[in-house]
A = this chain, B = another copy of it.
């Protein structure tokens, strides 16, 4: 947690009551806190078009400016062993972590994300999203 954010959070928490704030801060500062994983797989319409893949990857890179994203991985299929259970047919993937569903919702509605969809959605024919919460 950035210092400024924490200071703001502490101030808000103190306003809510001292005992509540103490436990909230402990939770917020836990190193291995539960995160929300948002993993999206894209299948391009033109699967063999390097140009379209480049456009999609460039679009995905714009997302990293969205402030609620804790970590962003943009990927393509890895050259791991081919097995029946492995789906390597997708063109590109975005994997991001959020602190919670509220952070993910801010991302969904964010103008940068909306702009990405506007600019790039004509490129893909299929998208699958998996949202997971750590247990």
Contacts and interface: CB of A to CB of B under 8 A. Distances in A.
A61 to B, nearest CB: 9
Contact of A75 (B86, B90, B105, B133): B133
A87 interface: yes
A78 B132 contact: yes
Interface residues of A, number: 38
A85 B117 CA distance: 13
Given A74-B135, A135-B57, A90 B129 contact: no
A107 to B, nearest CB: 10
A95 interface: yes
Interface of A is mostly: strand
Contacts of A134: 73-75
A39 interface: yes
A85 B130 contact: no
Interface in A16-73: 35-39, 41, 57, 73
A1 interface: no
Given A37-B73, A134-B75, A101 B128 contact: no
Interface of A: 35-39, 41, 57, 73-81, 83, 85-88, 90, 92-93, 95, 101, 104-105, 108, 127-135
